[in-house]
Amino acid sequence: MAEMTDVFFVDGMRTPFGRAGEKGMYWNTRADDLVVKAIIGLMERNGDVPKDRIDDVAIAATSQTGDQGLTLGRTAAILAGLPMTVPGLAIERMCAGAMTSVTTMGASIGVGMYDLALAGGVEHMGRHPIGGNVDPNPRFVAEKLVDPGALNMGVTAERIHDRFPHLTKERADRFGVASQHKVQAAYDASKIQPDLVPVAVKNAEGAWGLATEDEGRRPETTLEGLATLKTPFRPHGRVTAGTSSPLTDGATISLLAGGDAVKEFGLAPKMRMVSFAFAGVEPEIMGIGPIPSTEKALKKAGLTIDDIGLFELNEAFAIQVISLLDHFGIADDDPRVNPWGGAIALGHPLAASGVRLMIQLAAQFAERPDVRYGLTAMCVGLGQGGSVIWENPFFDGKKKRK
């Protein structure tokens, strides 16, 4: 009889993230092929896991059409060489798609229905711009259920500035610059590269190359440079390209397991799932969504914000992260927050980003046995937030070493 079990994040990998559009490295690469490459890389790195024991494959995409359609979890599993006996599904929760893939598969493992599962996401924003090929119900506008500006994420970011005037453009600019510099420092120290799956790419002339690094990084960014950027979402606004995540293509995947599977296959989990929560807020100010979802997740875990030793917060916009930090009384430059930088530099391929946060937190846990709990959290389009709290299996109860 099935029994409740712990849920473990065994491993995670991702493709390098590319700039969306004709000049991006994935312009001639299919979205589903990005997922396939990630799955193959993850399964090769975890060769002790029998492919036929994977109970399900959940892959998220925000725009479920074209090469991101056709039940991605199933089609990607087949294309990646998993046995035909392995089922799959597609998930959609906009920016929190991969995060929802993990929590959905994690819940299935937790109640004893699954032993092993793959969970991730993909977004090819070059092929499928957010909101492209959709037909919102006219009642949203006609009945004033949602302001039309709520469908423009940049406009919602400007509204956080409006609601909280003390969260200034200067603070957001400093955060954006810091993200770029932290990502480059992590690259220089080879922190990020071990979890990247190289992808063969073809340019406009038909020449083949290999994508091995995130394409959108701008380590030369300065405060002076950001101060001169235009504010595309509002005249004389406060949100710029330097404080926003760029449009991005990429895929992520994770391997989840229950306690019995960990023992059976001698696995070495990188994290244990403690709790998760999603919450809804006004779509017009969707960036504050991670605040209530984090409060719910902390309550479910019996923890407080002071128990969290590492934060991986998705930088959809700098102002969005700063609003969460301000709410919980955490400094903008707190070293626990995104120590290797975030989406402002790496990019935010919508439905893929949740697992990118987890991959980075897992790698940081291995270096930080003094930290017991970590948080992955993100805002979600149409007014939602998602949060997952994780426990570090390497925690040794000792103070941080000098």
Kindly report the backbone phi and psi dihedral angles of residue 171, in degrees, each rounded to the nearest multiple of 5, phi listed first: -65, -45
Most confident segment among 135-149, 281-295, 386-400: 281-295
Bin 382: left if φ > 0, else alpha if -120 < ψ < 50, else beta.
Answer: left
Do 122 and 72 contact (CB within 8 A), yes or no? Answer: yes
Average pLDDT over residues 18-35: 97
* pLDDT tens figures, 280-336: 999 999 999 999 999 999 999 999 999 999 999 999 999 999 999 999 999 999 999
**pLDDT, averaged across the chain:** 96
Provide CB contacts within 8 A for 24, sequence distance 6+: 18, 126, 215, 249
Whole-angstrom distance, CA of residue 234 vs CA of residue 100 = 32
Listed in sequence order, the residues at least 6 apart from 302 whose beta carbon sits closer than 8 Å to its beta carbon are none
Can you state the angle between helices 318-327 and 290-301, rounded to 10 degrees? 40
Round to whole Å and give the CA distance between 52 and 11: 18
Q: Is the pLDDT of residue 141 over 50?
A: yes
Write out the two tokens for 325. 């930090």
The whole-number average pLDDT for the span 232-237 is 93
Residue 400 is predicted with a pLDDT of 65
d(CA 250, CA 253): 11
Tokens encoding 214: 């995130």
How does residue 197 score in pLDDT terms, banded at 50, 70 and 90?
very high
User: Span 10-22, mean pLDDT?
Assistant: 97
Count, in order, helices (H) and strands (E) of the chain: 12, 12
Verify whether residue 124 is a known catalytic residue. Answer: no
What percent of the chain is modeled with pLDDT above 70?
A: 99
Please provide the distance, in angstroms rounded to a whole number, between the alpha carbons at the two ends of the chain: 48
Q: Which of 95, 124, 128, 161 is catalytic?
A: 95
pLDDT at 142: 86
Q: How far apart are CA 121 and CA 151, in angstroms?
A: 21
Q: Is the pLDDT reported for residue 401 higher than 70?
A: no
Return the structure tokens found at 43: 């399964």
Question: What is the rounded average pLDDT of the residues 204-216?
Answer: 93
Catalytic residue of the set 124, 128, 161, 379:
379
For residue 387, the model assigns a pLDDT of: 98
- pLDDT tens for each residue of 87-100: 999 999 999 999 99
d(CA 308, CA 330): 11
pLDDT in tens, 248-263: 999 999 999 999 999 9
Percent of the chain residues past pLDDT 90, beyond the cut:
91
| Average pLDDT value for residue range 386-391 | 98
Contact 39, 100 (CB under 8 A): no
Residue 402 pLDDT class (50, 70, 90 cuts):
very low
Name the token pair of 255: 């391997």
Of 124, 128, 161, 348, the active-site residue reads: 348
